[in-house]
């Protein structure tokens, strides 16, 4: 068995998790100066969640036909990503048109994301052991400032984002880019992620794969620790 010399982590639901839909909506209301009756906030947030409008949150219960094609390639282009998610949000009536972009903008802020409790500790220990570390994410915006704000970027040797390459997981080409940025053969790289299809696609290139459960942060205190047992 090849010794693991590098680890690639997915971003959303692996290292960090997006805030609940209600706090997301409240933050966007505040940022846009839009009023919504208190009694309406929870129901509208739930409707937005069902619509799949919160990136990093639940998938849409139903994708509108007009957005179906874009949904499949949303992580290959920043413009597509915004168009899809604001389009999903517009399925839910809200008090002002400016709110749909405010919601999208909110999800790109560091305050909207919470690291899993063991994320920093695991990354720091891998770094101490001399393991090469990268983030590999299907995403439509630059998450580096979020990682920086939470103190995680200091441990990273690479950050590969799908929209910057026009390729999204599970395409082996994106894993190949990430392995090259780590300077390692795929056989020496472990991919860690919550999506067995997208992240598990790394095995087609010869990487190892460790799945993690996409639970809320307070219900997964040590889901990343098994990485340390797999890496010398």
**Rounded-to-integer distance, Cα 232 and Cα 213, Å:** 23
Cis amide bond preceding 170, omega within 30: yes
Name the pLDDT band for 17 (thresholds 50, 70, 90). Answer: very high
Query: Is pLDDT of 158 > 80?
Result: yes
Give the global pTM.
Answer: 0.97
Which pLDDT belongs to residue 1?
58
**Rounded-to-integer distance, Cα 133 and Cα 11, Å:** 13
Which pLDDT belongs to residue 82?
98
The arithmetic mean of pLDDT across residues 160-165, rounded, is 98
Which pLDDT belongs to residue 169?
98
Q: Give the E-state strand segments of the chain in sequence order.
A: 6-9, 16-18, 113-115, 132-137, 158-161, 189-193, 208-211
Which pLDDT belongs to residue 123?
98
**Rounded-to-integer distance, Cα 178 and Cα 175, Å:** 5
Which are the contacts of 102, defined by CB distance < 8 A and separation ≥ 6?
A: 28, 29, 31, 32, 34
Q: Name the DSSP letter for residue 158.
A: E
Averaged pLDDT of the chain: 97
Which pLDDT belongs to residue 164?
98
Query: Is pLDDT of 232 > 80?
Result: no
103 shares a domain with 37? yes
Strand 189-193 to strand 16-18: parallel, antiparallel, or no bridges (unpaired)? unpaired
What is the residue range of 22's domain? Answer: 18-112
140 shares a domain with 100? no
* Structure-derived torsion over alpha carbons of residues 7, 13, 17, 21, reported in degrees to the nearest 10: 160
pLDDT digits (tens, 9 = 90+) for 23-74: 999 999 999 999 999 999 999 999 999 999 999 999 999 999 999 999 999 9
Instruction: Provide, rounded to the nearest whole percent, the portion of the chain with pLDDT above 70.
Output: 99
Per DSSP, the three-state class of 40 is helix
| Paired tokens of 17 | 């998790």
152 shares a domain with 45? no
Which pLDDT belongs to residue 58?
95
Token pair 């990273």 is found at 156
Which pLDDT belongs to residue 2?
78
Helix ranges, 117-230 (H):
119-128, 144-149, 162-165, 172-182, 226-230
196 shares a domain with 144? yes
In-domain check, residue 102 = yes
The arithmetic mean of pLDDT across residues 176-197, rounded, is 98
147 shares a domain with 96? no
86 shares a domain with 161? no
Q: How many domains does the chain have?
A: 2
Query: Is pLDDT of 212 > 90?
Result: yes
139 shares a domain with 42? no
């Amino acid at each position: 068995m090849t010794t693991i010399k590098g680890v690639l982590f997915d971003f959303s639901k692996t290292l960090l998790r997006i805030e609940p839909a209600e706090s997301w909506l409240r933050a966007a209301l505040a940022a846009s100066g839009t009023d919504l009756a208190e009694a309406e906030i929870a129901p509208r947030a739930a409707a937005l969640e069902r619509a799949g409008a919160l990136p990093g949150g639940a998938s849409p219960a139903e994708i509108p036909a007009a957005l179906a094609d874009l949904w499949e390639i949303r992580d290959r282009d920043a413009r597509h990503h915004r168009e899809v998610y604001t389009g999903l949000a517009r399925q839910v009536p809200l008090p002002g048109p400016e709110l749909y972009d405010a919601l999208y903008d909110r999800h790109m802020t560091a305050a909207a994301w919470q690291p899993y409790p063991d994320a920093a500790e695991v990354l720091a220990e891998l770094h101490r052991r001399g393991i090469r570390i990268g983030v590999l994410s299907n995403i439509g915006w630059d998450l580096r400032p979020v990682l920086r704000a939470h103190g995680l970027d200091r441990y990273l040797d690479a950050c590969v984002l799908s929209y910057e390459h026009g390729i999204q997981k599970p395409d082996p080409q994106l894993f190949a880019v990430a392995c090259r940025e780590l300077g390692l053969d795929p056989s020496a790289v472990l991919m860690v992620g919550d999506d067995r299809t997208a992240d598990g696609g790394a095995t087609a290139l010869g990487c190892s794969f460790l799945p993690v459960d996409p639970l809320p942060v307070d219900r997964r205190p040590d889901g990343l620790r098994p990485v340390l047992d797999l890496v010398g």
